Amino acid sequence: MSLVKVESSEGITTITMARAEKRNALNPELMRAVAESLDRAAADAAVKVVLLSGAGRDFCAGMDLKAFASGQGVDKIGAGLAAPSRCKKPLIAAVNGHALAGGFELVLACDLVVSVDGVKFGIPEVKRGLYAAGGGTRLATRIPIAVALDLGLTGDPITPQRAKELGLINEVVPREELMNAARALAARITCNGPLAVQWTKELMRDELGQPDAAKNREAQAKVFSSEDAREGATAFAEKRSPVWKNR
């Protein structure tokens, strides 16, 4: 069974994460499939815009904590989260459901965002003894620091309306209108000069600056291998509150 579904028409490629029974939670296999699909779309001259969405009722619940607790490599998931930044084509997130942790970071990595109403966005990693290593810690480059810290330190979610107020997403639509709205936005881009679109995206993205990759690697080595990280993931799998040890 394929972990992603890919459809293309009229210069628009839609990549749908198809692990609905696991809320599209990111394990190494799903993240690799998403990354490979994005890379293929970026290399295809016929593709002008890429849409990223999820199957079922969730966009993406973030890292598969049960897989993490069993020892599956978070480094592979983290590497996969870099794939959207490699995509030279405009990338639109069509958010069909909750986008949390790595799921929200996938949304943040996209260039434009259309979301259904009534879902949650957030980076709740601290609730599991982790941190938002896939891009969430860079929220302060896009929104006020106090708001970014509120999201990052409490782990509490926000609504699509609040995300739109903060400038993190572009449109909020009823569920039945999601894909039509996302494709309509994509179509407004496909009619423009592809080279001009590519360089506009690249130059605007450059203004956000580059993350400190070395510091992020150091933090991941300390936090993701800690006892608390294992405890957070294990507590989630066992449906209990974690017992933190600060080590």
Other beta carbons within 10 Å of 85:
13
pTM: 0.88
Other beta carbons within 10 Å of 183:
20
Q: What's the mean pLDDT when you consider all of the chain?
A: 90
**Does pLDDT of 91 surpass 80?**
yes
Task: Kindly state the DSSP code that residue 137 receives in the 8-state scheme.
Answer: G
Q: Which of 7, 21, 29, 125 is catalytic?
A: 125
- Is residue 45 classed as helix, strand or coil in its secondary structure? coil
pLDDT above 90 covers what percent of the chain?
A: 66
Q: Which two tokens stand for residue 185?
A: 């936005």
Other beta carbons within 10 Å of 240:
9
Q: Give the residue from 215, 244, 216 showing the smallest Cα distance to 230.
A: 244
Active site residue 231: no
Task: Kindly state the DSSP code that residue 130 receives in the 8-state scheme.
Answer: -
Q: Which of 7, 105, 171, 238 is catalytic?
A: 105
Q: CB of 170 within 8 A of CB of 112?
A: yes
Q: CA neighbours within 13 Å on the CB side: how many for 112?
A: 21
Active site residue 125: yes
**Does pLDDT of 109 surpass 70?**
yes
